[in-house]
Structure 1
Amino acid sequence: MTTRRDWLKAISLALGVVLAGTAFAPAQAAEKVTVFAAASLKNALDAINGEWLKQTGKEAIVSYAASSALAKQIEQGAPADVFISADLAWMDYLADKKLIKADTRSNLLGNRIVLVSGKSDAPAVEIEPGLDLAGLLGDGRLAMGAVDSVPAGKYGKAALEKLGLWPNVAGKVAGAESVRAALLLVSRGEAPYGIVYRTDAAADANVKVVGTFPEDSHPPIIYPVAITADSRNADAAAYLEFVRSPEAAALFQAEGFTVLE
């Protein structure tokens, strides 16, 4: 016969299971490493995160956007564990505000910027002083990341200035919120040409590389990585180590990046 005491024990046990499950849920969520990464890293980092999940059983959640936007979000308190920027400037921005763990910072990757067209029959061009880029554009626009904030846009503007081409095309630039957004404008035929990273061009079959900018026409393209100052995730360091591993290096190289470590 079931007594009142038996019922109380059963209720207490049930409550214990519920409370234990509630207490366990945040612990499970905390195991997911939150990564803020430059948009140009998407293909490579998706593949790396797949390997991370396969080998560890743990998930990395990635927010892809322009490095400028991600840095500002971290500054405003967004809960990121790891930040991978497409340039040194935005990592320096967070470092100056003590928002990254300085001893975890390193230069991870290099890249190149290229001129792309959405036309398969677009002729190759030599990117050098005197190039009639404005003539190539005609009435169309030059798709680039926003030149005052998006790293690919800043690199592109610097190169055009160094080559003496900027004055003739400045009024024809279609600034985009990220390098992938600029790539999409060309891929969809909304802009005849665009300046993107070599790795972005390789990721879209609808664009053709027609020229590569000289390396000495712009500052070196460097992707730094670091753990954020507010991260309390015990898995962040292990994830960072994995991103720096030879296995991850092979996946980055497969997408066209230069591995610096």
Structure 2
Amino acid sequence: MHLNPVTLLALLLALLLPQSSAMARSAEPLTVYAAASLTRALDEVLDAFSQTHTTAVIANYASSSTLARQIAQGAPADLYLSANLQWMDYLDNAGLLAQNSRRTLLGNRLVLVTAANSTLAPIELEPHWDLAASLGDGRLAVGDPDHVPAGRYAQQALEWLNLWSVAEPRLARANNVRGAVALVERGEVPLGIVYGSDAIGTGVRVLAQFPDQSHRPIDYPVAIVRNADSPDARALLAFLQTPAAAEIFRRSGFDMRQDD
């Protein structure tokens, strides 16, 4: 059967289009929704991932609660990395996590910080600490305890010290822990309570570390979002648990958990 050139071209396009669509899908980047406290470390880890994988990865950083709610509302996330277990549980209980993908990846510590150029001396954190005197006319920067995990850990630690009633009216509430760090860096507040990892490579200085028993363990779980489960997403999840990634996370002030 003889086909004219127009018909032949149409048949060739019909054969090629499905292949082109498949190639486009495989080239689609992964999107990681991650807690703001992971910004520096995860950026470096994802750069290392890109050295050995062709899949591009986009990171979206915000407070864990904001990101979890966005995912629950259908935001196009492939992986979610939270700064506490509660918001991962929120998505897990809603059936929004891929099967057998959840891991507790990292840990952190809670510290009291001041600006790097501050003259404040190290502080002993005990119930008789005069928080009001340390603050003077200033405020205490924290992630907002109403929705930011770092702020909730800060509230737990201050309650353990019987200092919450003093601290609560003096809080400078930030939308995420990186915002709290920025307030201290700029000298807008004399003190802040943030993660230990936030004191590395930033313009703040640690005055004290809160005792582990003063707050719940600071865990960072990771999981693949149910509707985004794919070989590429599994490859990224696996890379986050490699020695190469662990070295970057440790250098950035995190502890490795890897409970799987």
Confirm or deny: 8 A CA contact 2:98 2:229 kept in the other structure: no
Per-residue Cα deviation, 1:158-202 (whole angstroms, up to 9, x for no partner): 000011111111100011110001111111111111111010111
Tell me what 2:104 maps to: 107
Which segment drifts farther, 10-19 or 73-82? 10-19
Name the CA shift for 1:58/1:133 in 2 (closer, same or farther; >3 Å): same
Confirm or deny: 8 A CA contact 1:109 1:257 kept in the other structure: yes
SS in 1 for 2:253: coil
SS in 2 for 1:104: coil
Tell me what 1:219 maps to: 216
User: Post-superposition, which runs of at least 4 consecutive aligned residues in structure 1 deviate over 3 A?
Assistant: 8-22
Question: What TM-score do the two structures reach when normalised by structure 2?
Answer: 0.91
SS in 1 for 2:228: coil
The within-5 A match list for 1:88-99 is: 88-99=85-96
Per-residue Cα deviation, 1:107-165 (whole angstroms, up to 9, x for no partner): 11110011111143221101111111111111111110010210000000000001111
Name the CA shift for 1:102/1:166 in 2 (closer, same or farther; >3 Å): farther
Distance 2:92 2:130 in 1: 40
Distance 1:232 1:245 in 2: 20
Confirm or deny: 8 A CA contact 2:79 2:233 kept in the other structure: yes
Per-residue Cα deviation, 1:21-47 (whole angstroms, up to 9, x for no partner): 9625641443x2211111111111111
Distance 2:173 2:15 in 1: 54
SS in 2 for 1:40: helix
The within-5 A match list for 1:41-80 is: 41-80=38-77
SS in 1 for 2:152: helix
The within-5 A match list for 1:242-257 is: 242-257=239-254
**Counterpart check, 1:38 vs 2:35:** yes
**1:203: how far off?**
2.9
The within-5 A match list for 1:1-261 is: 8=6, 12=10, 19=17, 23=21, 26-30=24-28, 32-118=29-115, 119-204=117-202, 206-261=203-258
Confirm or deny: 8 A CA contact 1:102 1:226 kept in the other structure: no
Q: State the superposition RMSD in angstroms.
A: 2.1
The alignment covers a number of residue pairs equal to 255
Distance 1:120 1:167 in 2: 26
Distance 1:135 1:102 in 2: 51
User: Which consecutive unaligned segments of at least 5 residues does structure 1 have?
Assistant: none
Per-residue Cα deviation, 1:188-246 (whole angstroms, up to 9, x for no partner): 11111111101011131x21111111111000111111111111433011110000111
Q: Which amino acid aligns with 1:153?
A: G
Distance 2:155 2:255 in 1: 22
Identity among equivalent pairs (%):
45
SS in 2 for 1:34: strand
Question: What TM-score do the two structures reach when normalised by structure 1?
Answer: 0.91
User: Which consecutive unaligned segments of at least 5 residues does structure 2 have?
Assistant: none
Distance 1:84 1:203 in 2: 21
Which segment drifts farther, 49-58 or 117-126? 117-126
Name the CA shift for 1:26/1:165 in 2 (closer, same or farther; >3 Å): same
Which segment drifts farther, 248-257 or 226-235? 226-235
Confirm or deny: 8 A CA contact 1:35 1:81 kept in the other structure: yes
Name the CA shift for 1:10/1:127 in 2 (closer, same or farther; >3 Å): same
Distance 2:160 2:219 in 1: 19
